[in-house]
């Protein structure tokens, strides 16, 4: 596909993870998981193509060409429009182990996205909605980091 060579949509150049667990006592354990990731490449998809030959275009939809005001075409290869923002996530957990009537039990509390970061993770990359017509939503966010949420757990081994 003409223009498809380039940085792929989920290409994250840098991902740094830091995680661990610490036993405060024999019964209480705390843990964390954090991830810092660079942004993904952005593209500009158009509806234009500099040839009317159907064998070249193939009717596959989006192209990497955009129509200029003077009717000429500009090629924007895949991933050539910069990068999305870096994302950071921090998750924390605590667990308490105990026994009751000879049954080993554990209560857990997990907090995901503790800082409640809401960085966009996916953007609208369709620059044109039709030949030469700019999409008003180009660059708008589709998805964001998952908001903070809490999970409570309980397990018993018998």
| Sequence-ordered alpha helix ranges (H) in the chain | 54-57
Percent of the chain at pLDDT exceeding 90: 64
Distance of CA 140 to the CA centre of its chain: 14
* Contact assessment for residue 63 and residue 73, using Cβ atoms and an 8 Å cutoff: no
| Residue 54: band (very low, low, confident or very high) from pLDDT cuts 50, 70, 90 | low
The pLDDT of residue 22: 97
Residue 49: closest CA among 36, 37, 66: 66
pLDDT tens string 69-123: 888 888 888 889 999 999 999 999 999 999 999 999 999 999 999 999 999 999 9
Residue 128 has a CB neighbour count (10 Å cut-off) of 20
CA–CA gap between residue 61 and residue 79 (Å, rounded): 17
Res. 1: pLDDT tops 70: no
H helix and E strand count, the chain: 1, 11
The pTM of this model reads: 0.78
| Residue 17: band (very low, low, confident or very high) from pLDDT cuts 50, 70, 90 | very high
Percent of the chain at pLDDT exceeding 70: 91
3-state secondary structure of 123: strand
SS3 content of the chain, % helix, strand, coil (to 5): 5, 50, 50
The pLDDT of residue 60: 56
Residues 6+ apart with CB under 8 A from 48: 63, 65, 66, 67, 73, 128, 131, 132
Q: What pairing do the DSSP bridges indicate for beta strands 28-37 and 87-100?
A: antiparallel
């Amino acid at each position: 596909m003409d223009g498809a060579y380039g940085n792929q949509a989920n290409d994250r150049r840098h991902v740094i993870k830091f995680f661990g667990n610490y036993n405060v006592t024999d019964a209480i354990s705390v843990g964390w998981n954090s991830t810092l990731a660079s942004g993904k490449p952005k593209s500009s998809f158009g509806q234009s193509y500099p040839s009317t030959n159907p064998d070249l275009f193939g009717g596959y939809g989006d192209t990497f060409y955009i129509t200029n005001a003077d009717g000429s075409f500009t090629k924007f290869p895949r991933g050539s429009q910069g990068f999305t923002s870096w994302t950071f996530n921090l998750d924390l957990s605590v667990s308490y182990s105990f026994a009751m009537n000879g049954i080993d039990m554990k209560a857990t509390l997990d907090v995901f996205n503790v800082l409640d970061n809401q960085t966009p993770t996916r953007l609208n990359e369709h620059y044109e909605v039709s030949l030469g017509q700019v999409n008003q939503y180009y660059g708008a966010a589709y998805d964001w980091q998952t908001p903070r949420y809490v999970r409570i757990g309980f397990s018993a081994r018998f």
